[in-house]
Amino acid sequence: MSLNLRDVRAAHKRIRHISVATPLIPSMLSGQTGCELLLKLETTQPTRAFKIRGAANAIGSLTDEQKSRGIVCCSTGNHGRAVAFAAKQLGIAATVCLSELVPEAKAGAIEELGANVRRVAHTQEDAALETKRIAAGGVTEISAFDDVEVVAGQATITLELFERRPDLQNIIIPLSGGGLAGGMAFAAKQMQPRVRVVGVSMERGAGMYEAVRAGKPVEVEEYPSLADALGGGIGADNRITFDLCRKYLDDIVLVSEKEIYNAMRVAFQQDGIVTEGAGAVCHAALLAGKLKLEGATAFVVSGANVDMKMFQKIINGETLRLGDVEVGP
Ligand SMILES: *Cc1c(COP(=O)(O)O)cnc(C)c1O
């Protein structure tokens, strides 16, 4: 099963009645950086994250028989919400497995969409095992990232970027399992081989970064993070996103919790956008001086599903506790 640009174009047609073509707006940080910085606002999708693209494409590609048997997925929150949303639109029964690390706000939003939520102790890895167990009973699993149709759906962001700005020189993308960054990088390099594509992960538990370094998928520790949507490994039996990221990403940059914290404030104060931690990692890498940019650059602002109480604390500059560490300005 390999990806090609035709799949991505087909996905763009298939998902257009469920997801939206998101705005690309100039960032106020352009002046400070010496490059023209543009923000791709996936925060404006119906479920406030890009994951609706992959979920809508994968679910829309199922046979009628598969649809009637229902679907299951595991998720750090945003994929589950996207699957629940698309399933509801298409009248399909959905079960979403969540670990204890998924914030309550995200679990609640999934239940509100009518999906059956299963809380699983303790980690994303455990939620993945429960999903496999349910799928073994004949229910179709919708992977959060390691699936050709999901990757093709996420890659549709690249089509929209080049449609608006064929002159883009850099694309910077939040990175976890690699469905988003791997798919977008693949499509970008097919369309414009000279474009530079960089993934950004958090320092603690960066599964794809460790895998690329080791040359094979490795297990990573999972920690509470402001970028909770970036948690979890890439799967020991990874089929496609590891190869895509290894081949098509020019670099992977890591950011600290403090850098993410400050980036969420700056994105709000300067660019006027609410982002969850994962959505602010590109800002974080830029502000920390970890990106060297020249020419038109797009940041993917991947999601806005943040607990509002926590977000207010961050904007106010209050210190937060994340498991065993404190993070503040
Ligand atoms: C899932 C997610 C990511 C990472 O996407 P992958 O395809 O797993 O790399 C980034 N940001 C947000 C908001 C997400 O929900």
Taking the complete model, does pTM exceed 0.85, yes or no? yes
State the closest ligand 1 atom to the C-alpha of 208, by its place in the atom list counted from 1. Answer: 9
* φ and ψ at residue 214, rounded to 5 degrees: -80, -15
Which residues, 6 or more positions from 305, have their beta carbon under 8 angstroms from its beta carbon?
47, 48, 49, 77, 78, 81, 105, 106, 109, 229, 276
Least confident segment among 79-83, 174-178, 212-216, 323-327: 323-327
Ligand 1, atom 2: nearest CA belongs to which residue?
Answer: 229
145 lines ligand 1 (CB under 6 A): yes
205 lines ligand 1 (CB under 6 A): no
The span from the CA of 211 to the CA of 29, in Å, is 32
DSSP-assigned letters across all residues of 216-230:
S---------TTGGG
Provide the sign of the torsion angle of the four alpha carbons 6, 10, 230, 147, taken in this order. Answer: negative
102-138 burial string, b = 16+ CB within 10 Å, else e? bbeebbebbeebebebeebeebbbbbbebbeebbeee
78 lines ligand 1 (CB under 6 A): yes
209 lines ligand 1 (CB under 6 A): no
235 lines ligand 1 (CB under 6 A): no
Ligand 1 centroid, distance to 197 Cα (angstroms):
16
Substitution site in 42, 74, 78, 212 for ligand 1 pocket (most atoms within 8 Å of beta carbon): 78
Give, as one character, the DSSP assignment of residue 202: E
State the closest ligand 1 atom to the C-alpha of 77, by its place in the atom list counted from 1. Answer: 15
Provide the sign of the torsion angle of the four alpha carbons 300, 303, 306, 311, taken in this order. Answer: positive
In this structure, are residues 172 and 300 in contact, taking their beta carbons and an 8 Å threshold? yes
Segment 85-100 shows an average pLDDT of: 95
Q: What amino acid occupies position 220?
A: V
49 lines ligand 1 (CB under 6 A): yes
In this structure, are residues 41 and 67 in contact, taking their beta carbons and an 8 Å threshold? no
Ligand 1 centroid, distance to 271 Cα (angstroms):
21
279 lines ligand 1 (CB under 6 A): yes
More confident residue, 71 or 204: 71
DSSP-assigned letters across all residues of 224-289:
--TTGGG-S---TT--SHHHHHHHH-SEEEEE-HHHHHHHHHHHHHHH-----GGGGHHHHHHHTT
47 lines ligand 1 (CB under 6 A): no
Q: Average pLDDT over the chain, rounded to whole? A: 95
Among 207, 315, 208, 312, smallest CA distance to 265 is for: 315
Which tens digit of pLDDT belongs to each residue from 115-136? Answer: 999 999 888 889 999 999 999 9
Which tens digit of pLDDT belongs to each residue from 150-169? Answer: 999 999 999 999 999 999 99
Ligand 1 centroid, distance to 269 Cα (angstroms):
23
Ligand 1 centroid, distance to 70 Cα (angstroms):
24
Q: Residue 229 above 70 pLDDT?
A: yes
Give, as one character, the DSSP assignment of residue 139: P
**Confidence at residue 28, expressed as pLDDT on a 0 to 100 scale:** 95
**Confidence at residue 1, expressed as pLDDT on a 0 to 100 scale:** 58
Substitution site in 43, 51, 228 for ligand 1 pocket (most atoms within 8 Å of beta carbon): 51
Ligand 1 centroid, distance to 181 Cα (angstroms):
9
Strands 71-75 and 140-141: parallel
Ligand 1, atom 14: nearest CA belongs to which residue?
Answer: 229
The span from the CA of 208 to the CA of 20, in Å, is 28
